[in-house]
Chains A and B, each alone.
Chain A
Amino acid sequence: MNARWVGLALWLAVLTGLALLVLPLLGLLARAPWSETAALLTSRTVQQALLLSLVVSAAAVALSLAVGFPLAWLVARRSFPGRRVLRTLLTLPMVLPPVVAGVALLAAFGERGLLGGALAAFGVRVPFTTLAAVLAAAFVAAPFLIATLEAGIAQTERRLEDVAATLGASRWHAFRTVLLPAIRPSLLAGIALCWARALGEFGATITFAGNLEGRTQTVPLAIYQTLQTRPEQAFLLGAILLLISLCLLAGLRGGRFAA
């Protein structure tokens, strides 16, 4: 094949890719009625949705970190029977349709669920609460963090922590001064992915947590509901969420693209 044609084909692919990924975003930004921004942002429903989205997504990221970091470390560093099974299980929520994830969460935490029955006995009901929204977001977003972290940790040389030990560093000190700096790019990338996913979560949230302003109606839910009657407002809200996500991603990965 002529090199010229190959070059042309590559350019075509690049442009098509750009069109596919960037055009919808540009379209949204273009169609949103920006003049109504002030009115939108002063509406109580929108304010509640924005606040809830930020709180729920941040909590979901925190939960993902707390649970995911040790899991990622375990899978990356230790070998034990069933390690590969565990690794597959941890990435499963990524391929699960979000609504199915929501149903799964109900099956676990709903009253008739595995754990829900026991919790209900203590007076703790999880579905339809803000906690449920956090759990739904964390369930679908954590695998992104875990997978990224696991790859990052697996790449670091265990030997460096050994060396730190011979220099008198406790396990915790070595973790802080040797491992963390080494996986910083993976950690930031993982958090960015996790947060973005948590922010945009819809299917699992509405199935498991429901849709109520101020308690469980995150921005994606508000957008979908608004779409029924006032589509223009939905576009605007969507555009705002898009901009927030962009800022988040840029802030976390910022100048650190080269690890």
Chain B
Amino acid sequence: MSLHAQLALTRGSFSLELALDAPAGQTVALVGPNGSGKSTLVEALAGLLPIDSGEITLDGAVLERPGDGIRVRPQQRPVGVSFQGLWLFPQLSVRDNVAYGPMATGTPRQAARAGVQELLKRLDLVALAQRRPAELSGGEAQRVALARALALRPRLLLLDEPLSALDIEARPRMRALLHELLAEFPGPRLLITHEPLEALLLADHVVVLEHGRVVQAGTTAELRSRPQTRYAATLSGVNLLSGTLEADGSGWLLRTAGPALRVLPEQPTPGAALHATVHPAAVRLLEPGTPAGEATSWTTRVESVELHDDRVRVRLADPPGFVAELELEDARRFGPGTEVRAWLPAKALSVYPRMVP
């Protein structure tokens, strides 16, 4: 039981082209900035948007293949979808919302209602069964949307931003519930999110989508340690620098558009295109003019200072977007606009091959 999608489609000026595989029993997280095409993919997989070329197969059965003129209507696809925005039917009760699928596919009303009772129990909705969507909280509504998607026992589950309707405080509980539900679901699961934490906690595999193309795909561990794009790096909370490797006396230097970085590559090849990541906490900020020794250092200006929990994130002017994380007392010395010397040791930088230009 698995999903195999290799498709291309154009919608207005936006084009989506990707290959995606999700085996049964696995949760694949699809992450990407707004406008990258995530929701478009959901619509295409659900059958609401036709693809221009390629194919979508689920468990070996072809759902869509324009080349052969095959296109299974959304009604016929065994796909359960929880949409961003939820879209519960406002005139129906919670129970009737969940039972909508079975009722629409021929099950008599009473039987359908009885049939979803287990699902309501599983998602703790029995007490709310008679309520209307307008009377529900964000979390309750999301549970209804999930139950509704599961009611027809689909073979592929698509969840589009399942935590977006919830307050921050309510999210951990929902995350835990999702974790259980996803684990119980036998088929492949696709989870769309722009929250790095969700992706990393709930998924086994992550696919990064930017501008309608897949820029990186791998396990969550791989994504964390070796992000290939700025966006992917942001998900993991690290700084990303890219450059070419060159020998420098006894060591190696990564020439970037900004500072030249002293690095410790594993298998150095002169001229190799590499990425380098460094965690913001490993960056130290010193007074300008402080000698640096063997470590990489460069002088730049402070762009902005932000408070995150009890750490301070200092954004530097060069390289653009580069962040250093400091303790509160240290940060006091560096207000916006002040000149500062950034300092990071070679071992703080993790270098790896660059796959994406």
Binding site for B on A (CB under 8 A): 157, 159-160, 162-170, 173-174, 177-178, 181-182
Contacts and interface: CB of A to CB of B under 8 A. Distances in A.
A178 B89 contact: yes
A26 to B, nearest CB: 39
Given A157-B87, A160-B89, A169 B77 contact: no
Q: Which 8 A-B pairs have the closest CB atoms?
A: A169-B104, A167-B101, A168-B105, A181-B91, A165-B74, A163-B87, A168-B104, A166-B81
B83 A163 contact: yes
B166 interface: no
A173 B48 CA distance: 17
Scoring A163, A169, A174, A178 by chain B CB atoms within 10 A of each residue's CB, the highest score goes to A163
Contacts, number: 57
Contact of A169 (B47, B83, B100): B100
A171 to B, nearest CB: 9
Contacts of A178: 89
B79 interface: yes
**Interface of A, helix, strand, loop or mixed by DSSP:** helix
B104 A166 contact: no
A165 B77 CA distance: 10
A166 B90 contact: no
Contacts of B75: 165-166, 168-170
Contacts of B74: 162, 165-166
A182 B90 contact: yes
A164 B87 CA distance: 10
Contacts of B214: none
B348 interface: no
Contacts of A162: 43, 48, 74
Interface in B101-141: 101, 104-105
B133 to A, nearest CB: 11
Contacts of B43: 162
A44 B129 CA distance: 58
Contact of A167 (B73, B85, B90, B152): B152
Scoring A164, A168, A177 by chain B CB atoms within 10 A of each residue's CB, the highest score goes to A168
Given A160-B89, A166-B80, 11 more contacts: A159-B87, A164-B104, A165-B75, A167-B151, A168-B75, A168-B76, A169-B100, A169-B104, A169-B105, A173-B104, A177-B89
A178 B91 CA distance: 8
